[in-house]
Amino acid sequence: MRPALPRWADIALIPALNLALAFLVAGLVVLFIGENPVEAMRLLLHGSLGSSYAVGFTLYYATTFVFTGLSVAIAYHAGLFNIGGEGQAALGGVGATLVCLALPWPHWAIALPFAILGAGAFGAAWAFVPGYLQAKRGSHIVITTIMFNFIGAALVVYLLVDVMKVPGSMAPETRNFPEGTQLPFIHEMLGAIGIRMAKTPMNLSSLLALLAAFLTWALIWRTRLGYEMRAFGHSEPAAVYAGIDPVRITVVTMLISGALAGMMALNVVMGFQHRLVLDYVGGAGFVGIAVALMGRSHPVGVVLASILFGILYQGGAELAFDMPAVSREMILVIQALVILFTGALENLVRMPVERAFLRLRRRTA
């Protein structure tokens, strides 16, 4: 049987229509507030892409979302909905911080592999329990990952307030990392080869994020494990019949997913803030859900969707500054609409489009 839709419509047309609907509704919201949506859009795009400063910030945010988006995407391929990225990223921050503060690292290139391990291991550990419980005890992974977000948040608050805080200081944050752990900024790297760029928090992690996206692609479509994950995600009974161990696949997938979420710490904690502060994740774990949905769980899609959300985050901040009636929470609304239209209300567009294609095909046949 031929699929109802040609491939290009499935991967380009439908997401584009969904996105258009989301932005249409967002425009109505802006109109409702009494501002001009076209002007808002212009300010948003200018604030996010109008200068090298703006682009740097946009890509800095995008880098974070690539990590959390890949985390959701990879779990989705195995049929698992990991909404625990927020907690896993928070714990990843603790892991990266412990590595960075453990030794007087001489150079970031030496510290980086260990920090990747630290952030990944802590993130993976936080995803392990929900994964294991789903595989072994049948407890629903969505609920357990939600619970682990809250448990993780409480744990990190406890650690920052009572354990890792600078003695004598009131602020719930760790001391600054040694110089030898601070990743180079992109404006420094570009400056070294003679290209001038404004100072932004964008750092080496952006390249790591691209590497992670490539490795995720290779894992899912070019390895045996990836094949098993996809088979398991398609049909659990069929996968089990084919000799795939459901416990192993569930646990391994969640470990990789958690590790990816944890690695957002490289960008924010190790690359920019250079210390661990309270709630450094700031909702990025949830943005990962929107990014993965929009990107159709494909690494290329995830990267593109991350850039879109980077534009929203950076542009939205500038927009709130230039147009005070549209406060920063507009980003949350757009995010919700994107999740709604590309995820939950997907059939709103898909059903009519499929019908239209069928009619078209009947006429040409």
| Positions in the binding site for another protein (CB under 8 A) | 29, 33-34, 81, 83, 129, 133, 137-140, 142-144, 146-148, 150-151, 154-155, 157-158, 161-162, 286, 289, 293, 325-327, 329-337, 339-340, 343-348, 351
Q: Which long-range contacts (CB under 8 A, 24 or more apart) does 321-330 make?
A: 321/47, 322/43, 322/47, 323/35, 323/39, 323/40, 323/43, 325/33, 325/34, 325/35, 326/30, 326/33, 326/35, 326/40, 330/26, 330/29, 330/30
Whichever of 100 and 311 has its CB closer to another protein, that residue is 311
CB count, 10 Å around CB of 206?
20
Q: What is the DSSP string of 99-114?
A: HHHHS--S-HHHHHHH
Distance, CA of 111 to CA of 122 (rounded, Å): 16
Give the nearest distance from C-beta 293 to another protein in angstroms: 7
Q: Give the SS3 label for residue 20.
A: helix
CB count, 10 Å around CB of 307?
20
Record the tokens describing residue 165, joined without a space: 């805080």
Give the nearest distance from C-beta 164 to another protein in angstroms: 13
Whichever of 11 and 142 has its CB closer to another protein, that residue is 142
Helices 246-262, 108-132: inter-axial angle, 10-degree rounding: 140
Give the nearest distance from C-beta 277 to another protein in angstroms: 17
Alpha-carbon dihedral of residues 177, 180, 186, 191, nearest 10 degrees? 130
184 Cβ partners below 8 Å, 6+ apart? 108, 203, 204
Give the nearest distance from C-beta 192 to another protein in angstroms: 41
Whichever of 157 and 240 has its CB closer to another protein, that residue is 157
CB 258 within 8 A of CB 124: yes
Whichever of 86 and 228 has its CB closer to another protein, that residue is 86
Whichever of 72 and 116 has its CB closer to another protein, that residue is 72
Give the nearest distance from C-beta 137 to another protein in angstroms: 5
CB 294 within 8 A of CB 4: no
Whichever of 58 and 134 has its CB closer to another protein, that residue is 134
Give the nearest distance from C-beta 123 to another protein in angstroms: 18
- The CA-atom distances, in angstroms, between 285 and each of 87, 232, 313 are 8, 24, 14
Whichever of 284 and 289 has its CB closer to another protein, that residue is 289
Q: Give the SS3 label for residue 32.
A: helix
Give the nearest distance from C-beta 336 to another protein in angstroms: 3
Whichever of 33 and 219 has its CB closer to another protein, that residue is 33
Distance, CA of 252 to CA of 28 (rounded, Å): 44
Whichever of 251 and 331 has its CB closer to another protein, that residue is 331
